Amino acid sequence: MFLAGLMDWSGDHPPSSDDLIGKTTLAQGAAYLTETGREIIGCRDLALGNLGPAYFLDQSPDPPSCRLQQGFKVLGIATPAERREYKTLSTWGFMVIAVLAEKRFGGI
């Protein structure tokens, strides 16, 4: 599994590194490479766009043992304020990212 992100970008060609300048992630989730049948087309240093893993809870915010994590990195027990602010990290099943993209940008 890896942390996948849906970028706020669409176009009629695969994005170049420059196309992603200033763009953010609209959603992040845990996924497998085989989810959409697509391929990895490149690698870009996320620090260039001030991007990185979002903050998530590792489980429902109800238990006081709920932990805060950034991407997959566990940071510690979530405070009550953090349990109210952040969502639980979701695992994206088959084609979830494609469905999110279609909802945001229209048919792909």
52 vs 70 pLDDT, higher one? 70
> Which pLDDT band, with edges at 50, 70 and 90, does 39 fall under?
low
Q: Which two tokens stand for residue 95?
A: 């084609």
Rounded to whole angstroms, how far apart are CA atoms 15 and 32? Answer: 21
- Determine if the pTM surpasses 0.85: no
What does the domain layout of the chain look like in residue ranges? 2-105
3-state helix, strand, coil in the chain (%, to 5): 20, 25, 55
